[in-house]
């Protein structure tokens, strides 16, 4: 009886580890930016090349950065949700058009709707690189002092919004 | 007949190789500075591509990996050291991009884990052997001579 106990305990321990492993996404790279100041940027506005937006302009507000591109299929999947989510513009939602052509990006917003409070243009992907973007869409929540508090990789889902993004926004605004 | 087939095959192979070589030549302009390029490849070979995670940045064709290689080139051209370039990458993508992550509280198990398993296995083996050494001969099945058993193969 005792002889069987040790292999059984080992087996159960291994099973627990493997079971946990089932629900972890290995493609999700943990961001080193969490709880660190958001990287500085000076970006052209997507709509108006003459206007620039920088990180400091957004200090004092809790804002959501959504990285997207017109060539990104998963973004198209996510987009209607964002349009619906921010239809009354209650969230400071900043879009970052990543590695895109200006005309394509603008056309995309016209066609699928524009949920963004403002849109940044990042044709070379330099801003995205500083934010550690490796697959669009990606979404960041940044607090009033410009610190990154949350990162969501991949398309947002209704659950991700209600269970991750919204509680964080409530906490930061509350 | 057979000879001519072999000759055709050889010619086709040569043409194919020639094609491959001209392909390689096309990529030349990127490597404007061979010294930086060589240094870049050394660093890139230690970095993990974040998209295709079992491939190094040096080997990957993913867009992000190409960006990372270009950033490494830019950083080296600006006079940064290899360590500074690595820090630049981990600042953005975390220790995850390093194939050799630094020893820390979070990675401790990763580094010492195999050693712990080995020590555990040796202790277990030691325990079993000591216990068996203390057992009387009667606890073991008598040795059987393989050759004398009627069902043996030889």
Report the distance separating Cα A20 and Cα A55, nearest Å.
38
pLDDT tens figures, A26-70? 777 778 899 999 999 999 999 999 999 999 999 999 999 999 999
What whole-number percentage of chain B has pLDDT above 70? 73
When pLDDT is cut at 50, 70 and 90, the band that residue B27 belongs to is very low
Report the distance separating Cα A138 and Cα A132, nearest Å.
10
When pLDDT is cut at 50, 70 and 90, the band that residue B22 belongs to is very low
Is pLDDT at A76 greater than 60 in this prediction? yes
When pLDDT is cut at 50, 70 and 90, the band that residue A174 belongs to is confident
Q: pLDDT value at position B1?
A: 52
Interval B6-12 mean pLDDT = 58
Q: pLDDT value at position A98?
A: 94
How far, in whole angstroms, is CA B71 from its chain's centroid?
A: 23
pTM over 0.90: no
Query: Which residues are B5's β-sheet partners?
Result: none
Nearest to B67 among A29, A39, A129 (CB): A129
B120 vs B146, residue with greater confidence: B120
pLDDT tens figures, B115-129? 999 999 999 999 999
- What are the backbone angles phi and psi of residue A113, rounded to the nearest 5°? 100, 155
- Global ipTM: 0.78
d(CA B52, nearest CA chain A) in Å: 9
A30 vs B18, residue with greater confidence: A30
Whole-number average pLDDT of chain B: 79
Q: A43-52 contacts: CB < 8 A, separation 24 or more?
A: A43/A96, A43/A120, A43/A121, A43/A122, A43/A127, A44/A120, A44/A121, A45/A118, A45/A119, A45/A120, A45/A121, A46/A95, A46/A97, A46/A102, A46/A105, A46/A106, A46/A109, A46/A119, A46/A120, A46/A121, A47/A106, A47/A119, A49/A102, A49/A121
Contact A32 B91 (CB under 8 A): yes
Contact B96 A29 (CB under 8 A): yes
- Torsion-angle region of A154 (φ positive above 0: left; ψ -120 to 50: alpha; else: beta): left
By DSSP bridging, strand A52-54 and strand A42-45 are antiparallel
């Amino acid at each position: 009886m005792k002889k069987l106990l040790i292999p059984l305990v080992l087996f159960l321990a291994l099973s627990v580890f493997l079971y946990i492993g089932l629900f972890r996404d290995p493609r999700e790279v943990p961001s080193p930016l969490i709880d660190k100041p958001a990287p500085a940027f000076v970006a052209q506005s997507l709509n108006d090349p003459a206007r620039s937006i920088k990180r400091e302009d957004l200090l004092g507000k809790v804002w959501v950065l959504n990285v997207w591109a017109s060539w990104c299929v998963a973004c198209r999947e996510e987009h209607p949700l964002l349009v619906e989510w921010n239809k009354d513009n209650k969230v400071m939602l900043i879009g970052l058009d990543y590695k895109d052509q200006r005309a394509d990006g603008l056309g995309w917003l016209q066609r699928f709707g524009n949920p963004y409070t403002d849109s940044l243009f990042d044709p070379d992907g330099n801003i995205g690189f500083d934010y550690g973007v490796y697959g669009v869409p990606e979404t960041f929540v940044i607090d009033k002092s410009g610190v990154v508090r949350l990162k969501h990789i991949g398309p947002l889902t209704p659950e991700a919004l209600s269970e991750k993004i919204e509680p964080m926004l409530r906490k930061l605004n509350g | 007949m057979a000879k001519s087939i072999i000759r055709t095959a050889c010619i086709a192979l040569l043409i194919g190789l020639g094609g491959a070589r001209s392909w390689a030549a096309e990529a030349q302009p990127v490597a404007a500075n061979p010294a930086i390029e060589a240094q870049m490849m050394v660093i890139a070979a230690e970095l993990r591509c974040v998209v295709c995670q079992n491939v190094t940045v040096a080997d990957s064709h993913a867009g992000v990996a190409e960006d990372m290689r270009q950033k490494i080139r830019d950083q080296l051209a600006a006079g940064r050291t290899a360590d500074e370039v690595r820090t630049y990458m981990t600042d953005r993508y975390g220790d995850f991009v390093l194939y050799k992550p630094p020893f820390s509280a979070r990675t401790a198990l990763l580094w010492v884990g195999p050693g712990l398993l080995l020590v555990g296995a040796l202790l277990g083996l030691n325990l079993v052997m000591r216990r068996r050494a203390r057992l009387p001969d009667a606890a073991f099945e008598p040795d059987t001579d393989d050759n004398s058993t009627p069902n043996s193969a030889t």
